[in-house]
A = this chain, B = another copy of it.
Amino acid sequence: MLGFEGVIASTITPSKGNEGRIPSYMEFLRQHGVRGYYVLGTWGEGPRHGVEHRKRVAEKFVGNLNSGEVAIVHIGSSDMDTVMELLRHANDIGATATASVAPFYYRPDEETLFSFYSTLSERSSIPVMVYNIPSRQGYQLGFSTISRIMGELENVKGIKDSSGDPTLALELVSEFRGKKFVSLGSDELVSYCFLIGANATVSGVAGVFPELVVGVYRAVKKNRLDECFRLQRLLNRASSLLRNTGVEFETQRAALRIRGIDLGPPPEPVRQLREDELERLRSGVLRLTEELRNVTV
């Protein structure tokens, strides 16, 4: 995993019975330059799905990896039994790595957080990643806590930081460069992520508009900053479109459907999009794909 560099898509999850559509979804992402898959994360609605469906979905992603690709299976849940069962399963199917959001609903202190990742680390033979997303877990995970977890637990091999805090990002990248896998999960910071030298971005927008995020990555690699920020701006617009239309995360499925990838209906109790929302989404997707034709990086 430490060798990987670039764009990891935070993949969208098909509903029950539609797991068979995953390979063609992966092919869509692949054709646009994605080589990594974050499976059943926040955008992938992991915490919302039941254990059995999560297992089927993880198997499909891991089973369809190409050589050189990575699949990080997210196992976070509100209950510890589920986390442990999914950890065993991710190990059994040979996922590249596994990640878990810090415990949510409750407010653990540093000791409890350390104990949480320590337990995961001990019971896993595949690498474990910390997943920090304050807007969902409900509290901040500060640098000193993360640093202790990453520093003392050998099998905690990296982090996905979705705090959106550029200071924390820079601190993590500087401190763990060459030692741990540092990826950022904020679409608004994709350009910054690669400029400061992070290993990867784990991007929600990349699950729907992969070419946009891969474009930013390539522009940074080629030192074409103008193009990089031009694309970052489109990326921000894509992010805003997906966040401010419809309902979490059926909007993402609907956008993929517009782009030709049908992952099935929403899981219960999530509603379908209304016709006016679909109309707005369609015109937004269209405008973005128009602009993306000119991407030359």
Q: A89-97, A103-111, A288-296: which one contacts chain B? A: A103-111
A188-B174 in contact given A78-B48, A105-B48, A108-B269 (Cβ < 8 Å): no
Instruction: Say whether A179 faces chain B, with CB atoms less than 8 Å apart.
Output: no
Query: With the chains together, A232 CA to B174 CA distance in Å?
Result: 11
Instruction: Give every chain B residue within 8 A of A80 (Cβ-Cβ).
Output: 48-50, 267-269
Q: Is the CB of B103 within 8 A of A269?
A: yes
Instruction: Say whether A52 faces chain B, with CB atoms less than 8 Å apart.
Output: yes
Residue of B nearest to A116 (CB): B269
Instruction: Give every chain B residue within 8 A of A109 (Cβ-Cβ).
Output: 247, 271
A247–chain B nearest beta-carbon distance, Å: 5
Main secondary structure of the interface of A (DSSP, over half): helix
A124–chain B nearest beta-carbon distance, Å: 14
Our pick among B115, B189, B271 for the contact of A115 (Cβ within 8 Å) is B271
Residue of B nearest to A104 (CB): B105
Query: With the chains together, A271 CA to B119 CA distance in Å?
Result: 12
Q: Is the CB of B50 within 8 A of A82?
A: yes
Q: Is the CB of A233 within 8 A of B174?
A: yes
- Indicate the size class of the contact surface on chain A: 35 or more
Residue of B nearest to A173 (CB): B229
Our pick among B50, B106, B107, B188 for the contact of A45 (Cβ within 8 Å) is B106
Residue of B nearest to A230 (CB): B174
Residue of B nearest to A192 (CB): B192
A contacts, CB < 8 Å to B:
42, 45, 47-53, 77-82, 103-109, 111-112, 115-116, 118-119, 136, 138, 166-167, 170-171, 174, 188-189, 192, 195-197, 225, 229-230, 232-233, 236, 247-249, 267-271
